[in-house]
């Protein structure tokens, strides 16, 4: 039973680390992107600031999915199922 509690603790600790990193990334996004938009507005008429906003936004969505454990492509607990599948195989 101790191993299970220890595993759960380490998984929870890892999840907290991912959530913390996501919040840091989101905070940087909320600060940097408006600065880039302002810089874009002041310097040129071409809306180049949309490119970093969209690119970073896509990365932020991926970071959110990793931090919360939501993955629409692989589904919930996909990694756990694959680990069990490999552990149950005799030739692994």
DSSP state of 79: H
**CB-CB contact of 21 with 67 (8 Å):** yes
What range defines the domain where residue 67 resides? 2-88
Global confidence as pTM = 0.73
**CB-CB contact of 82 with 74 (8 Å):** no
The predicted structure's pLDDT at residue 6: 86
Structural domain count of the chain: 1
DSSP state of 73: T
**CB-CB contact of 49 with 40 (8 Å):** yes
41-77: pLDDT as tens digits: 999 999 999 999 999 999 999 999 888 877 777 776 7
The whole-number average pLDDT for the span 12-38 is: 95
Tokens of 75: 């589904």
């Amino acid at each position: 039973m101790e191993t299970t509690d220890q595993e759960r603790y380490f998984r929870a600790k890892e999840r907290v680390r991912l959530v913390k990193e996501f919040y840091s990334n989101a905070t940087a996004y909320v600060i940097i992107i408006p600065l880039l938009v302002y810089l874009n507005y002041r310097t040129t008429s071409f809306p180049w600031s949309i490119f970093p906003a969209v690119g970073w936004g896509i990365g932020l969505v991926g970071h959110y999915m990793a931090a919360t454990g939501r993955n629409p492509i692989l589904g919930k607990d996909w990694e756990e199922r694959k680990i069990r599948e490999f552990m149950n195989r005799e030739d692994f």
